[in-house]
């Protein structure tokens, strides 16, 4: 197989199927609106958790972009976006692997995740020099390892909630359109960030969702999200230090 044919197969070949289970087919009647009960409940749960994350802080904050604040936010999200929805799935006797925690299509995950990382990380490092991006992210810089750890704590649970619990439930309820629906809360939580980043979340969110749909797992999008977020903070700190 030629390299072009291999790439075409990775991108387009063997599209994944998302057959619903009997529980996925159960509907609830909301004043005449018949909606899938499980997907609707998980989507509402995600909205509630996002509002709690937005409006309440358990651990101290030292300013919205202070490295200590971001670390504490990441720890909170491990519980709020990771452990709580995981506990609910287990209580419902749902297999967490059906919500992105399985290994999925590892071949595509490594190939596609690696491809988008190689193509976009250098661009992101350059974009970090844009004054609005540099000035926003440079104060979040501590050490490269510290930034990486904070982003793992923050973004892996976030991917699990939005593009694991919500997206995979939607895929079984409404098909691939679920990738677009799951984009909405992701875009909304970026309101208030620099305009360049806020607008980019439309494309970035679709890429993250497409990776999960294609690989049947959250791990490619989680690794990619951590890579680009770490890059932009470290690069912004470097650009700021350079003057």
Nearest-5° Cα angle at 82, 136 to 176: 85
In this predicted model, what pLDDT tens digit does every residue of 69-86 receive, in sequence order?
999 999 999 999 999 999
DSSP β-bridge partners for residue 36: 27
pTM of the model: 0.93
User: Cα Rg for the chain, rounded, in angstroms?
Assistant: 19
Q: Where are the alpha helices (DSSP H) in the chain?
A: 3-12, 22-25, 37-55, 67-77, 84-91, 106-127, 131-137, 144-160, 167-174, 177-181, 183-188, 195-215, 219-242
CA dihedral sign, ordered 114, 120, 122, 128: negative
The domain segmentation of the chain, as residue ranges, is 9-242
Residue 210: is its pLDDT beyond 70?
yes
pLDDT band, residue 96 (cuts 50/70/90): very high
What pLDDT does residue 197 have?
83
Average pLDDT value for residue range 193-207: 87
With contact defined as beta carbons under 8 Å apart, do 69 and 142 qualify? Answer: no
In this predicted model, what pLDDT tens digit does every residue of 131-173 receive, in sequence order?
999 999 999 999 999 999 999 999 999 999 999 999 999 999 9
What pLDDT does residue 151 have?
98
Residue 1: is its pLDDT beyond 70?
no
Residue 43: is its pLDDT beyond 90?
yes
What pLDDT does residue 199 have?
87
């Amino acid at each position: 197989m030629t390299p072009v044919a291999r790439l075409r197969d990775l991108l387009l070949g063997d599209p994944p199927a998302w057959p619903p289970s009997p529980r996925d087919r159960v509907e609830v009647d909301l004043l005449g609106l018949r909606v899938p009960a499980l997907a609707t409940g998980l989507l509402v749960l995600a909205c509630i958790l996002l509002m709690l994350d937005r409006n309440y802080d358990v651990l101290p904050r030292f300013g919205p972009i202070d490295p200590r604040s971001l670390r504490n936010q990441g720890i909170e999200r491990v519980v709020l976006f990771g452990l709580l929805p995981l506990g609910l799935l287990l209580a419902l006797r749902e297999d967490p692997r059906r919500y992105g925690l399985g290994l999925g299509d590892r071949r595509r995950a490594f190939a596609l995740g690696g491809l988008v990382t190689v193509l976009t990380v250098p661009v992101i490092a350059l974009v970090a020099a844009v004054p609005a991006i540099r000035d926003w992210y440079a104060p979040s810089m501590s050490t490269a390892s510290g930034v990486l750890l904070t982003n793992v704590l923050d973004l892996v649970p976030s991917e699990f909630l939005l593009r694991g619990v919500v997206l995979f439930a939607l895929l079984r309820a409404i098909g691939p359109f679920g990738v677009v629906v799951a984009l909405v809360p992701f875009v909304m939580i970026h309101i208030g960030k620099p305009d360049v980043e806020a607008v980019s979340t439309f494309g970035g969110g679709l890429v993250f969702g497409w990776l999960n749909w294609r690989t049947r797992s959250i791990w490619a999008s989680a690794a990619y999200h951590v890579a680009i977020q770490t890059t932009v903070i470290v690069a912004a700190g470097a650009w700021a230090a350079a003057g």
